[in-house]
Structure 1
C-alpha cells in the first residue's frame, strides 16, 4: 500500500506519522510519504490533503501540475482524505465567512458548499470531542484551527459528524473530509478508517 500526504504546505509530517501509526494498528504493511509531483501522485493508492492554507495549497498544486493528476486519480476511484484546507480544496463551492466568495482553485469533486473560517480565526482555535458514529467511531478528538464548516451538501454526500449543529465531517464515495485536524491529537481512529478505505480499493 502506497499512501501519500500532499507535501505542499501544512500538517504534512503529522499526517505521515498518524497514517503510519494507523497502518501499524491495522497490521497493514506499506509506505507513507510526502508527495508533490504528478509522477509521485500517479503511483499512489490513497492521498491525504492536509490542513494548511487552502489557497496556497491550490495555487502551488496548480503551478506544479499536481492538481490535474490528483483530480484524475480521485475520479478513477483513489480514496482521498481532505483535512481542513483539504476539505476546502476538494469542494465544489467555497466562500469565506468574512470576505465572501473566493476565487481559489478547487478540485470541484466533493458536492458541498463550504464556509471558510466558520469557527473564527487563529486565536479562536480549540480542541473538542466529536462523534463519527456513521464510521463506527463513537467519539474522537479534533483540533479546530481556522476551521471551515459545510453549509450545504449534495446528493450522495453522507454527514459523518456535526459540532454545535455545524457539519464538520462528510463522506462521498471515495472521499472522506473533515473540517478539524485529527492528526494533531493522539487518536488515529479516522486515519485507521481511511487506511481501511484504501485497503478495500486495492
Structure 2
C-alpha cells in the first residue's frame, strides 16, 4: 500500500512516520511529475492553506489532485488539508481543491494562542487525543457527509465517500486511531477496485 504525502509545505514528516509505523509505504509529492506514480491514498497535511494552495497552482498539481480525488482516490486532510478540500469557507473567498461538501471556518479558534489539546470521541474509536493548532472547524456538512467527531458543539472530523478530514492533528498524538481509520478506507477502496 503506497500513500502519497503532499510535501510542498507544512507538517508532512509526522504523517509519513505514522503511516510507516502502521506498515504503509509513503512517497513525498513535491511536483506535478510525482503524481504520475501509482498511489493508493493521499494525505494533505497541516500547514498554511493559502501558501499550500498557491504552491499547488504554481507547481501544476492542483487540477491533477482534484481529478484523482473526484475519481475516488482516498484522501485524508488535516487542518490546512481540510481547508484545501472544503467546497466553501465562511471567512475566506479562496477555494482550492474544493471536492468535499463541507463549509469550513479558517483560524476558527484564533491565532497560535488559540491552540489547545483535548480528548474526545472519534468515529467508533472512543476518546482519542486531539491537538488543535490555529485550527479550523467545519461549520456545516452537505449531503452524503458523515460527522465523525465534535468538540464543544463544533464539527472537527468528517467523512464523505473516500475523503476524510480532521481539524486537529492526529499525527501529533499517541493514538493511531485516525490513521488506522484512513488506512481502512484505502483497503476498502482497493477491495472495491479488485472486485
Paired position in structure 2 for 1:181: 169
Alignment pair present for 1:145 and 2:123: no
Alignment pair present for 1:14 and 2:14: yes
Paired position in structure 2 for 1:110: 100
1:117-155 deviation line (CA, Å, top 9, x unaligned): 11111112111112113xx21111111001001111110
Give the TM-score normalised by the residue count of structure 2: 0.93
Partners of 2:55 and 2:122 in 1: CA distance: 32
Aligned Cα root-mean-square deviation (Å): 1.2
Q: Which of 42, 53, 75 is the matching residue for 2:48?
A: 53
Flag the structure with more relative contact order, 1 or 2, with Cα contacts below 8 A and sequence separation at least 6: 1
Paired position in structure 2 for 1:5: 5
Deviation, 1:104, is 2.8
Deviation, 1:39, is 2.6
Paired position in structure 2 for 1:31: 25
Gaps of 5+ in 2: 191-195
Number of aligned pairs?
A: 189
Deviation, 1:41, is 2.2
Give the TM-score normalised by the residue count of structure 1: 0.90
Alignment pair present for 1:81 and 2:76: yes
Paired position in structure 2 for 1:126: 116
1:62-108 deviation line (CA, Å, top 9, x unaligned): 11111111111111110000000000000111133xxxxx2434112
* SS of aligned partner of 1:137: coil
Question: 8 Å contact 2:86–2:95 — kept in the other structure?
Answer: no
